[in-house]
């Protein structure tokens, strides 16, 4: 892959899109799209939602004042609503030109969007000011998820069901669910396990390859010595089978990058990836 250097003027961060729900001072609800949303690990099973806001928007004022909000993940069906909420500011009046369903949080008293497939109910733990922005680190008090999701654990969330909108200056979506962590390591030439496990398997296969070759040479010599064609043919088959076994088993290939070592000779390190293999 070839890259080029550019000035930091582009939208460089790929971000999930959320609509943040807050309570106004009069008790009415307010929604505004925010894409500077991420998460960080705290301790134990605890995670913090991290959200940054700049300017003097009503949503930021509400979060600072009340310390609670909802983060409603935006899917493709919600794009018209997101565009509407982003183009009309609270100072212009109530955002009710478009119909959308609103409920209340199950744990926190925050407004939530009925159409969102994934909703965080958050409480601010601390905030950090950086220039014109404020970054809030928030406890996730509750998550409401689409009932079509059947998550078994932390790593079992199928984003294709959520169909989220991804923002990087323009809107994007996901095409398909490609797999889980570890599904592609073999494509990179890594067979799994620790470094010692990888090398142990590699050297064991090389030993078998050399053993096949040695037996083939020995049988061939016996065939020549006894002048028995059948024994000679068996020996030759063993000699020929040795490199084929080496190629198909990986005994002649780097256990890390998969390149054929014989093409550039042998050494302590792979001539392609540089990792120590002997």
pLDDT tens figures, 111-154: 999 999 999 999 999 999 988 899 999 999 999 998 888 777 77
Last residue in a domain, options 172, 205, 227: 172
For range 10-32, the mean pLDDT:
87
Q: Are residues 195 and 241 in the same domain?
A: yes
pTM to 2 decimals?
0.65
Query: Do 109 and 42 have their domain in common?
Result: yes
Predicted local distance difference test score (pLDDT) of residue 263: 46
Same domain, 195 and 159: no
Strand runs labelled E in 75-152: 102-104, 111-113, 118-130, 133-145
Residue 60 belongs to domain spanning: 15-172
Quickly list H helices, the chain: 58-66, 79-87, 159-162, 195-226, 229-249
- Weakest mean pLDDT among 94-108, 212-226, 259-273: 259-273
Q: Do 37 and 143 share a structural domain?
A: yes
What is the percentage of the chain residues whose pLDDT exceeds 90? 33
Closest CA to 198 of 273, 275, 261, 256: 256
Q: Which of 141, 139, 73 is nearest to 107 (CA)?
A: 141
Look at the chain and report how many structural domains it folds into: 2
Domain edge (last residue) among 126, 147, 172: 172
Residue 152 lies in a domain: yes
In degrees to the nearest 10, what's the CA dihedral of 145, 150, 43, 62? 0
- Residue 225 CB contacts under 8 Å (≥ 6 apart), including other chains: none
């Amino acid at each position: 892959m070839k890259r080029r250097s550019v000035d930091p003027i582009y939208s460089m961060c790929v971000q999930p899109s959320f609509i943040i729900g807050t309570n106004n001072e009069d008790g009415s609800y307010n929604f505004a799209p925010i894409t500077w949303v991420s998460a960080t690990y705290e301790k134990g099973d605890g995670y913090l939602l991290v959200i940054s806001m700049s300017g003097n928007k009503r949503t930021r004022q509400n979060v600072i004042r009340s310390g609670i909000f909802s983060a409603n993940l935006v899917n493709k069906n919600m794009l018209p609503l997101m565009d509407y909420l982003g183009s009309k500011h609270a100072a212009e009046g109530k955002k009710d030109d478009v119909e959308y369903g609103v409920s209340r949080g199950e744990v926190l008293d925050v407004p939530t969007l009925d159409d969102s497939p994934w909703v965080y109910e958050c409480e601010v733990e601390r905030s950090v000011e950086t220039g014109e922005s404020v970054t809030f680190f928030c406890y996730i008090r509750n998550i409401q998820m689409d009932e079509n999701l059947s998550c078994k654990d932390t790593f079992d969330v199928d984003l294709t069901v959520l169909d989220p909108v991804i923002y990087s200056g323009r809107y994007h979506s996901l095409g398909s669910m490609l797999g889980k962590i570890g599904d592609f390591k073999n494509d990179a030439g890594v067979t799994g396990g620790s470094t010692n496990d990888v090398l142990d398997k590699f050297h064991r296969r090389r030993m078998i390859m050399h053993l096949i070759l040695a037996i083939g040479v020995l049988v061939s010599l016996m065939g020549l010595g006894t002048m028995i064609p059948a024994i000679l043919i068996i020996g030759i088959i063993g000699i020929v089978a040795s490199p084929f076994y080496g190629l198909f088993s990986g005994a002649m290939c780097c256990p890390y990058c998969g390149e054929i070592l014989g093409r550039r000779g042998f050494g302590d390190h792979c001539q392609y990836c540089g990792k120590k293999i002997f």
